Amino acid sequence: MLENIMTMDKQYYMNTFGTRTPVCFDRGEGVWLYDTEGGKYLDFFAGIAVTALGHAHPALVGAINAQAAKLIHTSNLYYTEPQTMLAKMLCEVSCADKVFFGNSGAEANEGALKLARIYFYKKGMPNKTDVITLKHSFHGRTLATVAATGQPKYQKPYEPLMPGFSHVELGDLDALKAAITPNTAAIMLEAIQGESGVHPCGQAYMAAVRKLCDDNDILLIIDEVQTGIGRTGTMFGYQQYGIEPDIFTVAKALGGGVPIGAVCAKEAVCAFEPGDHGSTFGGNPLAAASGLAVLQTIQAENLVQNAADMGAYFADSLEKLKSKYSCIKEIRAVGLMVGVEFGEGLGAAVKQALFEAKVLTGLVGDTLRILPPLVITKADIDMFVDVLEGIVKTL
């Protein structure tokens, strides 16, 4: 079956992902994925931080089935209870006062950028349109979010880029201050840079950025697409730093695998009025019911605390491994967002060996990128570390 699917994919699917990893999954359960050939894989990537509850969690499956049997979609011309209740719950667990739903992280970030611009436009400051982001960041693949993303490899094919974006190095406050102009509307950053190999912003830096925004009438937008919904051991990544954004975005884990994104904002900056923004599918009953089930299950099963506890255990286990093997250069971890950086160009070989051992991870450069479901246990972590040590020994 795998060969047939690979052949058809090559013929019919636009080749945006290159030669994919040669496996086809058709079901999952908990931290495990099963392929069409009968293989069983330990999933420590969670669909790039999406399947926070693991695979086929009964609460999420039940909510999807029940909602699909009642109502999948109407339109945003009408009220639906799941959308309203999910917006309420997101505000209750965060600093936000209002929420707008889209379908993805890129859409959420696009909405946040539009909100920042229209906020100043309606304040009579139409020239405040520019946004500062960080180098090595990732904010999405729409034309605006590609321009916001601080990685030239994603931008080059789409030049000339949308104007109004500048990029500075993470941690360089002098560069950030120098980039601010009277036209700067927002500073947009990830609480922890994920796509560049798990790089936390740090508390002192985030506090300084918040102050810069306050002192210069600039909005702080935090991209929580990957760090939100318990991943870091707090419900949102910004809570690691003791600051609050004016706007933040969330997606990935919010729907547990059902596509959904959200722009979340303080009341003072909610400048959208009827006709200013919209979405056909955003926050439809199926997606919103999925988001509600995810948040309710995270609370009922105490998964934010589990992410903190298992993250600490995982980081400690990996640090012990690092002390034994010099090819492991650095462990970077916040909750269950983990990067293991290798030297000597070994990262790709380690990732491939893990796949051959039926363990799934990601890779950025020479850094193994690990994003397991929030439901993992110490036994799952021990299994992963044992396999990893065997591979490192061999290599």
List per-residue pLDDT tens for the chain, 395 residues long.
999 999 999 999 999 999 899 999 999 999 999 999 999 999 999 999 999 999 999 999 999 999 999 999 999 999 999 999 999 999 999 999 999 999 999 999 999 999 999 999 999 999 999 999 999 999 999 999 999 999 999 999 999 999 999 999 999 999 999 999 999 999 999 999 999 999 999 999 999 999 999 999 999 999 999 999 999 999 999 999 999 999 999 999 999 999 999 999 999 999 999 999 999 999 999 999 999 999 999 999 999 999 999 999 999 999 999 999 999 999 999 999 999 999 988 999 999 999 999 999 999 999 999 999 999 999 999 999 999 999 999 98
Clarify whether 223 is annotated catalytic.
yes
Give Cα 114 distance to the centre of its chain. Answer: 20
Give the per-residue pLDDT at 117: 98
Clarify whether 40 is annotated catalytic.
no
**Annotated catalytic residue: which of 45, 128, 246, 252?**
252
Give the per-residue pLDDT at 344: 82
β pairing state of 367-370 and 337-342: antiparallel
- Domain limits, the chain: 2-57+302-394, 71-300
Number of residues written out for the chain? 395
Clarify whether 172 is annotated catalytic.
no
**Under DSSP, is residue 302 helix (H, G, I), strand (E, B) or coil?**
coil
Give the per-residue pLDDT at 395: 87
Backbone angles phi, psi at 269, to 5 degrees: -105, 5
2-57+302-394 topology per CATH: Aspartate Aminotransferase, domain 1 (3.90.1150)
**Annotated catalytic residue: which of 100, 138, 272, 314?**
138
Distances (CA, A) of 5 to 10, 25, 34, 163: 9, 11, 16, 41
Give the per-residue pLDDT at 128: 98
Assigned CATH for 71-300 = 3.40.640.10
Q: What is the pTM of this model?
A: 0.97
Amino acid at 50: V
Helix ranges (DSSP H) in 159-302: 173-179, 203-215, 285-300
Give the per-residue pLDDT at 287: 98
> Of the candidates 351, 360, 257, which has an alpha carbon nearest to the alpha carbon of residue 39?
360
Q: Angle 202-207-212 (CA atoms, 0-180°, nearest 5)?
A: 125
**Annotated catalytic residue: which of 43, 223, 246, 380?**
223
Q: Return d(Cα 243, Cα 263) in angstroms, integer.
A: 18
Sign of CA dihedral 370, 372, 376, 382: negative
